[in-house]
A and B are shown apart, each in its own frame.
Chain A
């Protein structure tokens, strides 16, 4: 069937736009949100699909593959039709909603995506909002087309480049994100789920287990670019890079997120040249210090969504937490940021990073120690700002990430052994009991952290520990007052419990 279609396309004078729509609609099958409820438009189904949207598609459907083959074989013809299609969409998006034809509805029915058409005209949405949604859908399709059949976009890319320069911020954001995702090889399925970095995991992550963090990335959600966008469309790419200095903070934030994705996917698996990689990481370091809060948060978030190995190998290129100018150093400096959102993101990231790295640091890995060993000092030194909110965050980091409650979660070896331990807490056959083992590991972790604390941070940690007793005593007083208070309330009510 594919061959018949290819012949028809090659030899026909022109294809009706409905045929082009159908072919292009098949690429949207890679979107897990569209895959489940293709004909249904109820809000409920869409919510359920959104919950499933993080489940990656295992493999592409036959229809998708057919459309892909057709597009790759009849590149020139399809390029023309695709370019026409996108020009129409962009024109539609810019025109007022009343002019928008039913053509848009038909397209959506086949693609089976969101209920934007069902959003009734009871409340007339401004033309831009509806248009923006259509534009977004079209750009999602663009990402998938780039992944599947980059050749057909040769005439469309200049149009996207033009979008980077328009006045309207929303359009610039859409264009920036699209180019970023194309460079990362992210398709309509969106980015893969962020890898888990749990500071409380036991056994702690090692370099070898870290490699398995992304083993679940597969199928449609695996970022894979067929060609290097920067090589195929260098002018557009360089224009995209220059968005880092865009006057709108939303665009700079979107740009930062895109750069994070390019770095963590290594440009969709193609790989980045060493200099380019260093440049991008350098830009990221700058964005951590951006004047706008949104951009700073985006920069910190994109590091926190990287794999542990990427943080070591890529982000670590600029140096560790103690080296001025590096991404980690800048993040550390921003721990005292006046904006709460930035501080929250930073403390969470730094805490988790050290927690995950603690295993390797304890084992003596000098490189990891240089990169992350200074984190606890930085966190504790933030207490010197005398801001109670910051102090509270430091305590949270200590109890959740540095030395998490309940760490290590050792499993009881077998029931017989555990029974004998419960009876007398004694050792069985010379083996250390689970509790003693846990205590030993926990002490090692605390000592590992303490070893790298600088002269200012040590007193902070010791003071926090000694404050525990004072707080404990105060808690006892509080509880006593609670009970007395309740008794006094009873009197006031005129009733008596006794």
Chain B
């Protein structure tokens, strides 16, 4: 099992990758923060969302953002998927 995990981390030390990923996550959440104007709060919220690992929400957001989704698909994934209540 340990070997399998190591393989998955693509050969590098897992700790270093984790730090790198966290830094990248921080960068992207900062981008969204500057869109909304309240950087620390947005960053904290988005980080919590990241920790939740709510796969259904991820899928719904992907539908919303996909280039080939039409209006209805976007609308349904936002409303019927209750995206914002999660």
Indicate which residue in A392, A478, A492 contacts B29 across the interface (CB closer than 8 Å).
A478
Q: Given A474-B28, A498-B8: A388 and B14 within 8 A (CB)?
A: no
Q: Given A475-B61, A477-B28: A482 and B49 within 8 A (CB)?
A: yes
Residues of B within 8 A of A479 (CB): 58, 61-62
Indicate which residue in A388, A406, A481, A491 contacts B25 across the interface (CB closer than 8 Å).
A481
Taking a contact as CB atoms under 8 Å apart, the answer to whether A492 and B22 are in contact is: no
Complex formed: what's the CA distance from A391 to B34 in Å? 11
Residues of B within 8 A of A387 (CB): 37
Interface membership of A116, Cβ < 8 A: no
Complex formed: what's the CA distance from A472 to B4 in Å? 33
Taking a contact as CB atoms under 8 Å apart, the answer to whether B58 and A491 are in contact is: no
Indicate which residue in A391, A488, A496 contacts B21 across the interface (CB closer than 8 Å).
A488
Within 8 A of B (CB), among A442-498: 442, 469, 471-479, 481-489, 491-492, 496, 498
Within 8 A of A (CB), among B2-38: 2, 4-5, 8-9, 14-15, 17-18, 21-22, 24-25, 28-29, 31-32, 34-38
5 closest Cβ contacts across the A-B interface? A388-B37, A488-B18, A472-B65, A482-B50, A491-B14
Number of interface residues of A (CB under 8 A): 33
Taking a contact as CB atoms under 8 Å apart, the answer to whether A406 and B31 are in contact is: no
Interface membership of A47, Cβ < 8 A: no
Q: Given A476-B62, A477-B28: A492 and B35 within 8 A (CB)?
A: no
Taking a contact as CB atoms under 8 Å apart, the answer to whether A483 and B5 are in contact is: no
Interface residues of A (CB under 8 A from B): 387-389, 391-392, 405-406, 435, 439, 442, 469, 471-479, 481-489, 491-492, 496, 498
Chosen A-B contacts, 5 in total, with CB atoms closer than 8 Å, are: A435-B72, A471-B65, A483-B58, A484-B21, A487-B8
Closest to B66 in A: A472
14 extra interface residue pairs, beta carbon distance < 8 Å, beyond A485-B21, A487-B8, A491-B5: A391-B37, A392-B37, A405-B78, A469-B67, A475-B61, A475-B64, A478-B32, A482-B25, A482-B49, A482-B58, A485-B25, A489-B51, A491-B9, A496-B1
Residues of A within 8 A of B53 (CB): 482-483, 486
Closest to A490 in B: B5
Residues of A within 8 A of B38 (CB): 389
Closest to B22 in A: A485
Q: Assign chain B's interface to a size class.
A: 35 or more
Residues of A within 8 A of B5 (CB): 491, 496, 498
Interface residues of B (CB under 8 A from A): 1-2, 4-5, 8-9, 14-15, 17-18, 21-22, 24-25, 28-29, 31-32, 34-38, 46, 49-51, 53, 58, 61-62, 64-67, 71-72, 75, 78-79
Main secondary structure of the interface of A (DSSP, over half): helix
Nearest CB in chain B: distance from A137 CB, A:
42
Nearest CB in chain A: distance from B78 CB, A:
7
Complex formed: what's the CA distance from A287 to B28 in Å? 44
Indicate which residue in B17, B28, B79 contacts A488 across the interface (CB closer than 8 Å).
B17
Residues of A within 8 A of B49 (CB): 482
Residues of B within 8 A of A405 (CB): 75, 78-79
Complex formed: what's the CA distance from A175 to B50 in Å? 55
Taking a contact as CB atoms under 8 Å apart, the answer to whether A478 and B46 are in contact is: yes
Taking a contact as CB atoms under 8 Å apart, the answer to whether B18 and A489 are in contact is: yes
Nearest CB in chain B: distance from A41 CB, A:
39
Complex formed: what's the CA distance from A435 to B76 in Å? 13
Q: Given A474-B32, A481-B24, A496-B5: A488 and B62 within 8 A (CB)?
A: no
Listed residue (B4, B46, B53, B64) with the most chain A CB atoms within 10 angstroms of its CB: B53
Taking a contact as CB atoms under 8 Å apart, the answer to whether A485 and B50 are in contact is: yes
Residues of B within 8 A of A484 (CB): 21
Closest to B46 in A: A478
Nearest CB in chain A: distance from B64 CB, A:
8
